[in-house]
Amino acid sequence: MTAASLVIAIDGPAASGKGTLARRLADYYHLPHLDTGLTYRAVAHMLLTKGWPLGDAPHAVEAARLVDLGSLDRDVLSVHAVGEAASKIAVIPEVRRILVDKQRAFAAQVSGAVLDGRDIGTVVCPDATVKLYVTASAEVRARRRLAEIEARDGTGDFATILADIARRDERDMGRADSPLRPAADAHLLDTSEMDIETAFIAARTIIDGIVAAASES
């Protein structure tokens, strides 16, 4: 195996640190990175902007077709309310089908790629070279999200954020189409007691081990 075929799939619940890890790994291995959550957020944002209900499947499908991976604006889409809305439109199978096609095209680049989301190891890239399932306790995740919100606009309530995270976990893990769960061959990384650097080193150790074993075989 060569670095050119390295596809790293990272899944996990909200605020587990998968995006941070994905960006660090993409930088380290010189791979393009796609935060697939932004694609669901882009659909939700379009519906919210137009004032269409989040359960309006035909409009959500139309919005999904318009998603352009090259113009996903993280600053606009990372707002807490858009994440909440994204998990509501993410239950619509036709929306998932359209976005998964775009995500697979991204993963198929000759350079390889890093993708993070909820169903990368199970649905989008079932043949990924390495699959990581990043978790942390709901309390730790809520604390991280609160710190993030406070750093951005200075206001946030821990109990509300914890309840939002619990609701989002339930929706993401309980939906019929592509629920959040670790792929059978995913490596679990519980970052509850790891800082960002420690999680990055742990992930690299797993990836380098898999790449080395594959190049020997």
Ligand X SMILES: Nc1ncnc2c1ncn2[C@@H]1O[C@H](COP(=O)(O)OP(=O)(O)O)[C@@H](O)[C@H]1O
Ligand Y SMILES: Nc1ccn([C@@H]2O[C@H](COP(=O)(O)OP(=O)(O)O)[C@@H](O)[C@H]2O)c(=O)n1
**Contact footprint for ligand Y (CB under 6 A):** 14-15, 19, 36-37, 40-41, 83, 86-87, 90, 117-119, 168, 172
Of 25 and 128, CB closest to ligand X: 25
**Candidate residues 17, 112, 117, 121; the one interacting with ligand X per rule CB under 6 A:** 17
CB 99 within 8 A of CB 40: yes
The residue (of 203 and 211) whose beta carbon lies closer to ligand Y is 203
Cβ atoms < 10 Å from Cβ of 85: 19
Residue 121 contact, options ligand Y, ligand X, none, Cβ 5-8 Å cut-off depending on partner type:
none
Told to check if 14 binds ligand X by CB under 6 A, we report: yes
Whether residue 18 is annotated as binding a ligand: the answer is: yes
Task: Answer yes or no: are the C-beta atoms of 128 and 7 closer than 8 Å.
Answer: yes
Q: Does 108 bind ligand X (CB under 6 A)?
A: no
Q: Which of 203, 56, 189 is nearest to 133 (CA)?
A: 189
Q: Are 33 and 140 in contact (CB under 8 A)?
A: no
Residue 19 counted as an annotated binding residue: yes
The reply to whether 199 sits near ligand X by the rule CB under 6 A is yes
- What residues have CB less than 8 Å from 182, skipping those under 6 apart? 11, 121, 131, 133, 188
Binding of ligand X at residue 148 (CB under 6 A)? yes
Q: Which two tokens stand for residue 43?
A: 């659909």
Is 198 annotated to bind ligand? no
Residues 115, 132: Cα–Cα separation, whole Å: 10
Residue (15 or 31) nearer to ligand Y, CB: 15
112 labeled binding residue: no
Contacts of residue 42, Cβ cutoff 8 Å, sequence gap at least 6: 63, 67, 72, 77
The CB-of-148 to ligand Y minimum distance in angstroms stands at: 10
Considering CB distances under 5 to 8 angstroms, the limit depending on partner class, which of ligand Y, ligand X, none binds residue 119?
ligand Y
Task: State the residue number with the nearest CB to ligand Y.
Answer: 37
Beta bridge partners of 95: none
Distance separating the N- and C-terminal Cα atoms of the chain: 9
Specify the residue, 83 or 112, whose C-beta has the smaller distance to ligand Y: 83
Task: Tell me the binding residues for ATP.
Answer: 12-20
Q: Which residues bind ligand X (CB under 6 A)?
A: 12, 14-20, 144, 148, 191, 194-196, 199
